[in-house]
Amino acid sequence: MQSRQNFLYRLRDKDHYESFNGYVPQKKDFYDLVASRLPFGWYIHRKDIWFHCTSPRNSTPRQGWKIHVSATLANAREVMTRVAMRLFERQEADFKFAVDLSVLFLLNSKN
């Protein structure tokens, strides 16, 4: 994803697919917030547009259910803090979140 400065142009290219992995997220948006509260033994890894928080003691079933938590750009950091803290208290569920506010904007957009 080195062809243009603005990653939005790369997402819209009709002829050339470029992996999102080249995008450098703004870690101050969510990553730093979550990483600073990460319980011992948990780790964060990135896959595409998501950061995944996982604990080695949790196992993800092949089937099951999940909860989607919605947020706007205005309240996303507060929502992320509250949800992460609750999940870290229980330490029973792995979770993922958008890599930054720009990606959240795209996820919440109609296109």
CA-CA distance, 78 to 85, in Å (whole number)? 11
Q: What is the mean pLDDT of the chain?
A: 87
Runs of H (alpha helix) within 1-111: 7-12, 31-35, 76-90, 101-108
CA-CA distance, 71 to 26, in Å (whole number)? 17
Which pTM value belongs to this model? 0.83
By three-state DSSP, how is residue 5 classified? coil
Of 83, 94, 100, the C-alpha closest to 30 is 100
What does the pLDDT look like over 3-26, one tens digit per residue? Answer: 445 666 666 666 776 777 778 999
